Amino acid sequence: MDRSNIPSFILHHLQIIEPGSTFTASLPRVQSSSGHRFFAKVGSTSDREQYVGEAESLRAMDAAAPGLVPRVMALGVVDKSGRDSADGEGRPFFISEYKDFTPLTEASGAALGKRLALELHRSKSVKGYGFDVPTFCGATRLKNGWYDTWEKCFDALIGDLLAMLQPRTAYSELCMKGELVRQRVIPALLGPLKIEPALLHGDLWSGNTGTDTTTAEPVIFDPSSYYGHNEADLAIARIFGGIPQSFFTTYHQHFPKTEPVEQYELRGDLYELFHYLNHTVLFGGGYSGSALGKMEGLLKAVT
């Protein structure tokens, strides 16, 4: 590893974080002479919103559940000369803690379930449902903003995905049935809920979770946060697997299923639909068939 691999503006901010230390790097990993390690990345000009969304998500989660996510150390934008941008235009950069991790175990999965239930999902918003800045689920930009009900917030999330698919003629049936889900299913399942807006990770699948190799504690990263129904954070984990059953069992020991409990699985299907639609936007392929199947099952169940 060679110090020369570190852009000057990254090195400048590292020296602010740890005065007197020296640094070597093979980006995105940076090693400090103090023994600490950092994660540092630089984006293109089109990535600024995505960097802000990730940083603000991590900051909110770190405040709610300290140590559960890598702590953000620096975020900024530099101009063509590599200096901090005066007008906010330019290339974004991001520095956080670096964490080594392995997949979740039964023990760390249970610990993650407990921390989400008692810390992250107990963090409430006084502004309603949504988030202050756009966040990105994969490459998909979630406009966010604020809504006074969860029904309106989730309807907007689904509506935006359908709008992205609408111009693609191969998805005409999917979009038609998606609009029926918005008209019938979302009001029926979400309208009556008595919940508070909980801070969500937003993209909580096994690839964004791990066990810290130093502490054996769970860690989560690459968020797409917003404030919503806590159960929505469990959806993508159900789709792709890889998260131990101990996570779900322990979670609901500390955060019981929302009433009406008999609609828990239907709500799970509805929240999974968001991710199937998003994967259709991003990758196409068989995800559209999975989304259509969810829609048909939901429409049958509530009509």
Which structure tokens are listed for 73? 């150390």
Q: Identify the helix (H) or strand (E) that includes residue 92.
A: strand 91-97
* Phi–psi pair at 30, nearest 5 degrees: -125, 130
Q: Which amino acid is at 87?
A: D
* Phi–psi pair at 222, nearest 5 degrees: 50, 60
Beta bridge partner(s), residue 22: none
Give the CA distances from residue 265 to residues 49, 166, 234, 238, in Å, rounded to whole numbers and listed in that order. 34, 28, 11, 11
Neighbouring CB atoms inside 10 A of 277's CB total 30
The answer to whether 212 is a known catalytic residue is: no
Contact 202, 225 (CB under 8 A): yes
Compute the Cα dihedral for 275, 276, 277, 278 and give only its sign.
positive
Q: Choose the catalytic residue: 203, 222, 233, 269.
A: 203
Please tell me the distance from the alpha carbon of residue 222 to that of residue 181, in angstroms, as a whole number.
29
Please tell me the distance from the alpha carbon of residue 233 to that of residue 146, in angstroms, as a whole number.
18
Catalytic residues: 203
